[in-house]
Structure 1
């Protein structure tokens, strides 16, 4: 599996953190979430897959929590890994990112996840704005 970002740091106790993330195009724009607080970055909507949860269920749950949108027709595009420190959990993580293309079909409300906001941006700006190189690579591939 391809790695994006920094390599593994020798001696750090990494924990595997699988996650599901969505590229959500609509009307010539892409839905991104901005996470304020600790991270201050634009991201593809999505997040961690809970123990016993399927990637698709996690994708629907996380997109709703971070954006307030329901999605349809998720299609798996691929996966990548990245090694990061997650200050909100005080852990070193090997994030295994499963990337999907899906259709945003209905806004049900505002994000319920703290410090998240929704942004519809053009594809080129989205590529320039996303906070991690794996997300950028998959968006470029899809476009």
Structure 2
């Protein structure tokens, strides 16, 4: 069973399934996040929706490049979680099915190409404290524990 984080679905509300791929990216004792401007500015794990006909790992590479400007590698699957939320940029009530990977930023090709996004490096404790999504916090904490035993 895939764990759910955040509020339960509202009875009678319909939700559109929105699969996505996200990464906990670590390098030199720092975590790479993306900051998204907009109606609800927030820090997030880099990643996003999987387009029709696209694989999860291909979507992850594309989304991280768009949101941070970085190419990534050394990916290791961590797990998945569900989240029911409103996505204001799409005016959509969504059931997000979020796959999460641990990886490394390899090189930066340039600035983010996704409007309203910027790449931010943080210490792990600060990154955990500023992530609004409880599922993202859970998987980041797990990735940090896993990294300490590798």
- Relative to the length of structure 2, the TM-score reads 0.94
Matched, 1:78 2:93: no
Cα distance between partner residues in 2 of 1:39 and 1:56: 27
Alignment of 1:25-104 (within 5 A): 25-104=26-105
Cα distance between partner residues in 2 of 1:39 and 1:55: 26
TM-superposed CA distance for 1:48, in Å, is 0.1
Partner residue in 2 for 1:18: 19
TM-superposed CA distance for 1:38, in Å, is 2.0
Alignment of 1:124-135 (within 5 A): 124-135=125-136
Partner residue in 2 for 1:7: 8
Partner residue in 1 for 2:116: 115
Q: Which runs of 5+ in 2 are unaligned?
A: 145-150
Cα distance between partner residues in 1 of 2:118 and 2:12: 36
Q: Which runs of 5+ in 1 are unaligned?
A: none
What CA deviation, in whole Å up to 9, does each residue of 1:88-140 have, x standing for no partner?
11111000000001110000000000100111000011110111000000111
TM-superposed CA distance for 1:5, in Å, is 0.4
Cα distance between partner residues in 1 of 2:3 and 2:59: 22
How many pairs are equivalent?
A: 143
Cα distance between partner residues in 1 of 2:74 and 2:141: 20
Cα distance between partner residues in 2 of 1:63 and 1:52: 18
Q: Which 4+ stretches in 1 moved above 4 angstroms?
A: none
